[in-house]
Amino acid sequence: MEFSWLETRWARPFYLAFVFCLALGLLQAIKLYLRRQRLLRDLRPFPTPPTHWFFGHQKFIQDDNMEKLEEIIEKYPRAFPLWIGPFQAFFYICDPDYAKTVLNRTDPKSQYVQKFLSPLIGKGLVALDGPKWFQHRRLLTPAFHFNILKAYIEVMTHSVKTMLDKWEKVCSTRDTTVEVYKHINLMSLDIIMKCTFSKETNCQTNSTHDPYEKAIFEVSRIVFQRLYSFLHHSDIIFKLSPQGHRFQKLNQVLYQYTDTIIQDRKKSLQTGVKQDNTQKRKYQDFLDIVLSAKDENGSSFSDTDVHSEVSTFLLAGHDSVAASISWVLYCLAQNPEHQERCREEVRGILGDGSSITWEHLSQMPYTTMCIKECLRLYPPAPNISRLLDKPITFPDGRSLPAGITLFINIWALHHNPYFWEDPEVFNPLRFSRENSEKIHPYAFIPFSAGSRNCIGQHFAIIECKVAVALTLLRFELASDHSRPPQLVRRVVLKSNNGVHIGRGKGNR
Ligand code: HEM
């Protein structure tokens, strides 16, 4: 009989390695099995929409099928678990009383979600928890004081007018519809750059900022796909995948963009040469505050902290606002009678719109109602996540243990038929003074609620009002039925094919 090399003493290490890997694989399999059993037990009180035994609800989530989501909300109006593969489940909340119970606690953000988001926003205010979050929130709140916001109105007006001039040019050369989202996104970037970083970029008129915007769009898509694809939850598998490679490249674009903002300011502080409009300012902008902030031990923010906060405010401060303005214009184009009422109101207050003041913005009740109704129908931040750090009991007596990842589905809260009559109908009168009192305080939370609510919500509403008012004074908006938006739930609720708005009877 022939002597096999497997019988030599050199084969022993291979045997041992093989047995070791087998044991490791077996241990991992047992761990995953126990994890599944624990999740099944913990989530038993909450019925689950029909699911595939292996993929769970992955396909439904990735399909971005909003009609299916509406059906699910109608069947499971309080909450339901969604399985991402066989070993991970997230708990989705669509009921305002459930949302209230969660938002009145102090559970941390889900690290699962934050880990995937970190290339976009680092460990900035959105991702922080505990005493460090409290310290940053306290330090950064003054950057959004009303007196500072008042000074921003002029900056916003200027940027909106630049965008409207561009639209006028497009419309004068061809009788066409305009894909407004891309313009609004740049306008919003222009505003956040000028207001929070005092940086004049002219990004609306030169295309050097397009790579940053494209990177944001693509990274958001990859983050979302990774979150809902259980194989990509593993860092190793994700890094080796083509998506992982692309992700690394895009991260460099984002990192570099933020870094340039910080380095430019540091240089101008060191040399005393004002490269931006720091000289003209009477107040500390966001970047001044971050760069001069000290913690309780008197130490400055670390370079990583500064980078994280700048990327957080850069992204949170323009992406969601751009989405909200696009959705408002889209809704008004779809509903010409409401559009006309807003226009009359704005014209009565602003005349030709040559100057807008803080007082003007508080005198637009009908336009404000329309903006709120759009934020209800199209909440720019459709989901927020938490990780339960202790057990929770909901008002109906059902409970969940610590360790479960929750999503408060703001979209579902805003579309829940048990709290909104005809939830899909655009009806700004829901927010009239009389009707507002009947709305459950947690049924409409586009900016979240509780201590972790949006720090930039007043900034966002002001920008939205300025943009809508000035647009209505110059354009009549018409819907483009040939290219309806395709909703995609990313970090921000956007349309995959942009937002196309037609031109009405002509410029106003
Ligand atoms: C229409 C526009 C906006 C919407 C719908 C929106 C929505 C939200 C929501 C829902 C949260 C809670 C997130 C969570 O709990 O995970 C949040 C937090 C936050 N938002 Fe906004 N936001 C908008 C605009 C802005 C702007 C303009 C800024 C800054 C200039 C901003 C900065 C932040 C920050 C830093 C947080 C974290 C706050 C904290 O945890 O203390 N947002 N936003």
**Whose CA is closest to atom 21 on ligand 1?**
454
Tell me the β-bridge partners of 294. 300
Q: E strand or H helix at 79, and its extent?
A: strand 79-84
Q: According to the model, what pLDDT value does residue 8 have?
A: 75
**Strands (DSSP E) along 88-140, which ranges?**
88-93
Decide if 9 is inside a domain.
no
Largest CA distance in the chain: 103
Structural contact between residues 221 and 159, judged by C-beta atoms closer than 8 angstroms: no
28 C-alpha to ligand 1 centroid (Å): 38
Decide if 121 is inside a domain.
yes
287 C-alpha to ligand 1 centroid (Å): 18
CATH number at residue 216: 1.10.630.10
Q: How many residues does the chain have?
A: 508
Decide if 508 is inside a domain.
no
457 C-alpha to ligand 1 centroid (Å): 7
Half-sphere exposure of 63 (CA within 13 A, CB side): 9
Ligand 1 atom closest to Cα of residue 144: 30
Q: CA 459, CA 148: separation in Å to the nearest integer?
A: 10
- Nearest-5° Cα angle at 400, 109 to 383: 40
Decide if 169 is inside a domain.
yes
Decide if 419 is inside a domain.
yes
Pairing of strands 477-479, 500-503: antiparallel
194 C-alpha to ligand 1 centroid (Å): 19
**Whose CA is closest to atom 19 on ligand 1?**
454
Q: According to the model, what pLDDT value does residue 1 have?
A: 56
456 C-alpha to ligand 1 centroid (Å): 6
pTM given for the model: 0.92
Decide if 31 is inside a domain.
no
Tell me the β-bridge partners of 224. none
Question: What tens digit of pLDDT does each residue of 423-437 get?
Answer: 999 999 999 999 999
Q: According to the model, what pLDDT value does residue 274 have?
A: 56
Handedness of CA 311, 110, 142, 322 (dihedral sign): positive
Decide if 290 is inside a domain.
yes
pLDDT under 50: residue ranges of the chain: 507
Q: Which of 441, 414, 439, 442 is nearest to 73 (CA)?
A: 414
Exposed / middle / buried, residue 57 (Cβ in 10 Å: 0-12, 13-18, 19+): buried
Ligand 1 neighbours (beta carbon < 6 A)? 125-126, 137, 312-313, 316-317, 320-321, 324, 380-381, 384, 446-448, 452, 454-456, 459-460
DSSP structure string for 353-417: -S---HHHHTT-HHHHHHHHHHHHHS-SS-EEEEE-SS-EE-TTS-EE-TT-EEEEEHHHHHH-T
Ligand 1 atom closest to Cα of residue 451: 41
492 C-alpha to ligand 1 centroid (Å): 11
Residue with tokens 């995937």: 116
Torsion region of 498: left, alpha or beta (phi above 0 gives left; psi -120 to 50 gives alpha)? left
Ligand 1 atom closest to Cα of residue 109: 16
Ligand 1 atom closest to Cα of residue 133: 41
Q: CA 240, CA 243: separation in Å to the nearest integer?
A: 8
DSSP structure string for 134-150: HHHHHHHGGGG-HHHHH
125 C-alpha to ligand 1 centroid (Å): 9
Structural domain count, the chain: 1
Q: CA 429, CA 440: separation in Å to the nearest integer?
A: 15
Q: Which domain does 345 fall in, by range?
A: 41-503
**Whose CA is closest to atom 14 on ligand 1?**
384
**Cβ-proximal residues to 508 (8 Å cutoff; 6+ apart), any chain:** 343, 472, 473, 474, 475, 476
**Whose CA is closest to atom 5 on ligand 1?**
380
Q: According to the model, what pLDDT value does residue 59 have?
A: 80
**Cβ-proximal residues to 464 (8 Å cutoff; 6+ apart), any chain:** 321, 324, 325, 328, 371
Q: Which of 458, 405, 446, 492 is nearest to 146 (CA)?
A: 458
Pocket test for ligand 1, best of 311, 385, 445, 454 (most atoms within 8 A of CB): 454
**Whose CA is closest to atom 3 on ligand 1?**
320
**Whose CA is closest to atom 27 on ligand 1?**
317
Six token digits for residue 473: 């004074």
Q: Confirm or deny that 454 is annotated as ligand binding.
A: yes
Q: CA 132, CA 111: separation in Å to the nearest integer?
A: 15
Decide if 153 is inside a domain.
yes
| Four-CA torsion 237, 239, 241, 245, nearest 10 degrees | 180
Other CB atoms within 10 Å distance of the CB of residue 87? 16
